[in-house]
């Protein structure tokens, strides 16, 4: 008998790659604040929510910011990001994404999405896969971002599945930590040398298997 009743996926870097759009949007914002920003710095933002990412960037700024200023900058970044992703389509799905979702459905498992992106609903629509999920967490209603387990526990609760019967799928260190803190099994997508907390690591969803 399969040991899982539900599979909860991350979005960015797992099902689609919007990382390049986040990078471009954050880079433009950082440069307007006189903060150096490159791909190496961007790696530290993987799996971190918008305000958490902004705090990491502004930590290198020459001045301090009020909460109101931070919110305005976060909105500015998001507007640019939304413009960048507006051309997304099913062609932007990563290899194996749809077959993996279909395999979960064929196995009778519930399927959830636990993305810290507040644009997740829009991205799913553009990718044409909204209907493949039983529940999508609204990141705007999550108080604590990854690595806190809140977002994965919310998904499990709404799916009606105990955390220990859930498989979480993540590409970021913070995301894998979130899954493990929730008491779930973690399937990492990426480099096993990086995702050391994961129970198993695959290079991409084209190698997806429920045998973890």
12 flagged as catalytic: yes
171 is in an annotated binding site: yes
DSSP 135-163: EE--GGG-SS-TTSSHHHHHHHHHHT--G
Burial degree of 11 (CB within 10 A; 0-12, 13-18, 19+): buried
Note every long-range contact of 51-58, with CB atoms under 8 Å and residues 24 or more positions apart, other chains counting: 51/145, 52/145, 53/26, 57/26, 57/29, 57/30, 57/33, 58/33
From 5, 12, 102, 138, the catalytic residue:
12
Q: 7 labelled as ligand-binding? A: no
Q: Look up 10 and say whether it is catalytic.
A: yes
Q: Read off the tokens for 138.
A: 């609204």
Rounded CA-CA distance 8/180 in Å is 13
Is 26 marked within a binding site? yes
Answer for the pair 94, 16: CB distance below 8 angstroms, yes or no.
Answer: yes
Hey, which residues does 188 pair with through a beta bridge?
170, 201
Check whether 47 is labelled as a binding-site residue. yes
78 annotated as a binding-site residue: no
116 annotated to bind ligand = yes
| Residue 119 labelled as part of a binding site | yes
Among the listed residues 10, 191, 199, 206, the single catalytic one is 10
Residue 11 marked ligand-binding: yes
Is 64 annotated to bind ligand?
no
115 labeled binding residue: yes
The reply, when asked if residue 48 is annotated as ligand binding, is yes
Active site members: 10, 12
Binding-site residue positions for substrate: 10-12, 26, 45-50, 53, 77, 115-119, 146
Binding-site residue positions: 10-12, 26, 45-50, 53, 77, 115-119, 146, 170-171
Binding-site residue positions for Mg(2+): 10, 12, 170-171
């Amino acid at each position: 008998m399969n040991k899982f009743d539900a599979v909860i996926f991350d979005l960015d870097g797992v099902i689609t790659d919007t990382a390049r759009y986040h990078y471009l949007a954050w880079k433009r914002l950082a440069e307007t604040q006189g903060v150096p920003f490159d791909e190496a710095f961007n790696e530290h933002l993987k799996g971190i929510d918008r305000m958490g990412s902004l705090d990491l960037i502004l930590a290198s700024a020459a001045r301090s910011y009020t909460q109101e200023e931070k919110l305005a900058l976060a909105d500015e970044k998001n507007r640019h990001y939304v413009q960048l992703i507006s051309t997304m389509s099913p062609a932007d799905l990563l290899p194996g994404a749809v077959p993996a979702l279909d395999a979960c459905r064929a196995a009778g498992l519930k399927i959830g999405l636990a993305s810290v992106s507040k644009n997740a609903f829009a991205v799913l629509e553009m990718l044409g896969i909204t209907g493949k999920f039983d529940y999508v967490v609204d990141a705007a209603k999550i108080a604590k971002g990854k690595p806190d387990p809140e977002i994965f526990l919310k998904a499990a609760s709404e799916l009606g599945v105990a955390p220990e019967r859930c498989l979480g799928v993540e590409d970021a260190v913070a995301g894998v930590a979130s899954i493990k803190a929730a008491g779930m099994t973690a399937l990492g997508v990426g480099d096993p040398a990086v995702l050391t907390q994961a129970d198993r690591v695959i290079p991409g969803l084209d190698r997806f298997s429920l045998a973890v």
